[in-house]
Copies of this chain bind each other. A is one copy, B any other.
Amino acid sequence: MRITSQREIILEELQRLKTHPTADELYEVVKKRLPRISIATVYRNLERLSEAGMIHKLEYGGRQKRFDGDTSPHSHVVCVRCGRISDVETRDDMEILDIVVDSKGYQILKCGVQFEGICPFCQERSKSKKD
């Protein structure tokens, strides 16, 4: 993957923001440093960077994808009204109620374990395509 100024700055700005921005929110920020950048470049690079594991794509809440420049393991809280995402601090010594109370002012409605993986159909598809 080649290094371009667009790619570098998109990554830099995403890592600096702690807000889990949408593609267009990040576009507005990056545009201040690269006024001629295209929104398509932002989408493309967010996709490539997340494929490379350098950032995380968050597909919870709302219809817009959000992105996280912090790839260290941590939990999120999603606003069911506006789709905003914030980090939730979960240390080993914390009770679940401490987490809920300490959750950045969010009124917590629900919490649960979320699994991500590859379904049997997509596994089968990968095998036949040998990728």
Residues of A within 8 A of B (CB): 59-63, 65, 73, 75-82, 84, 86, 88, 90, 99-100, 103-123, 125
Do A105 and B120 have beta carbons less than 8 Å apart?
yes
Interface secondary structure of A, over-half rule? mixed
Name the residue among A62, A99, A122 with the largest chain B CB count within 10 angstroms.
Answer: A122
Copies held by the complex: 2
Q: Tell me, in angstroms, the Cα distance from A90 to B113 when the chains sit together.
A: 9
Q: Which residue in B75, B81, B105, B121 is a CB contact (below 8 Å) of A114?
A: B75
Do A117 and B123 have beta carbons less than 8 Å apart?
no
Q: Tell me, in angstroms, the Cα distance from A107 to B123 when the chains sit together.
A: 8
Name the residue among A79, A90, A108, A117 with the largest chain B CB count within 10 angstroms.
Answer: A117
Do A75 and B115 have beta carbons less than 8 Å apart?
yes
Q: Tell me, in angstroms, the Cα distance from A86 to B106 when the chains sit together.
A: 28
Do B122 and A78 have beta carbons less than 8 Å apart?
no
Q: Tell me, in angstroms, the Cα distance from A121 to B77 when the chains sit together.
A: 14
Q: Tell me, in angstroms, the Cα distance from A110 to B118 when the chains sit together.
A: 10
Residues of B within 8 A of A79 (CB): 116-119, 121-122
Quote the shortest CB–CB distance from A68 to chain B (angstroms).
13
